Amino acid sequence: MRCKICNCETKLWKNPRYEQSYDACPHCEGIFLNARFYPSKQTEQNIYANHHNSLENEGYVRMFENFIDFFWDTLHVKEEWLDFGSGPTPVLSELLRRRDVRVDCYDKWYQPKKIYVDKIYDVITSTEVFEHLDDPIAVLSELNAHLRQGGIVALMTLFHPKNEADFFQWWYRRDPTHITFYTPKTIETMAKKCGFEMMRSDERRIAVLKKR
């Protein structure tokens, strides 16, 4: 198939030990689960319902605090914020409100009203969302349309190990709802196509993009 991100020819990754197969792009390093292995919407929703993350989970809160701190001091304006894919318990938005930020929340399952449609934001965060997307270019382009010039999109998704053998052993791949996988190079390729520049990445799970 052609890569969904850069349109280059992909390579088939298939391990005889596993049922799933993937299309891996040697150019932008994106990896895509073959669509015939996508979970049903009911399965997807059931898996999300089993996520029990809250403000009482210290490790979960620390992960989000570290995420915010990674780019907080680079923000010149941070008054209006959108948490895109906030989940059943919007922990990130609560942590931001404690920093006196006004936050809108959207989530496909739990807060499906597109509150952001007629708004423009200084910052948009999307944590543990992009691995679930079938068309990440379309979503990133949509976020761009709701961001001020010079505004920031901060993404969090665990970057894949690049090597095929390591990828099939990788725990993050095993979540049935994870269908698209990235590296910083993948995110940078997306950024250029969608009107952003890559500001910085921790090379592990965070990428910060600035609207050109």
Mean pLDDT of the chain: 95
The predicted model gives 103-132 an average pLDDT of: 96
Burial class (CB in 10 A: 0-12, 13-18, 19+), 65: middle
Structure tokens at 103: 């936050």
Dump pLDDT digits (tens) for 146-202: 999 999 999 999 999 999 999 999 999 999 999 999 999 999 999 999 999 999 999
Q: Note the pLDDT of residue 52.
A: 64
Q: How distant, in Å, are the alpha carbons of 97, 123, 143 from that of 81?
A: 10, 5, 12
Q: Which domains does the chain have, with CATH numbers?
A: 11-34+76-211 (3.40.50.150)
Of the chain, the percentage scoring pLDDT greater than 70 comes to: 99
**Angstrom distance (rounded) from CA 183 to CA 149:** 25
Mean pLDDT of 4-32: 97
Please write the tens of the pLDDT for every residue from 54-87: 787 888 899 999 999 999 999 999 999 999 999 8
Which carries the bigger pLDDT value, residue 114 or residue 54?
114
pLDDT at 159: 98
Contact between 209 and 152 (Cβ < 8 Å): yes
Average pLDDT over residues 92-97: 94
pLDDT score of 50 = 76
How many CB atoms are closer than 10 A to CB 203? 10
Tally the residues of the chain.
Answer: 212
Are 80 and 74 in contact, with CB atoms under 8 Å apart? no
Q: What pLDDT sits at residue 15?
A: 93
Structure tokens at 14: 């298939």
Place 135 in a pLDDT band, splitting at 50, 70 and 90.
very high
Beta pairing, strands 102-106 & 121-127: unpaired
Separation CA 57–CA 171 (nearest Å): 21
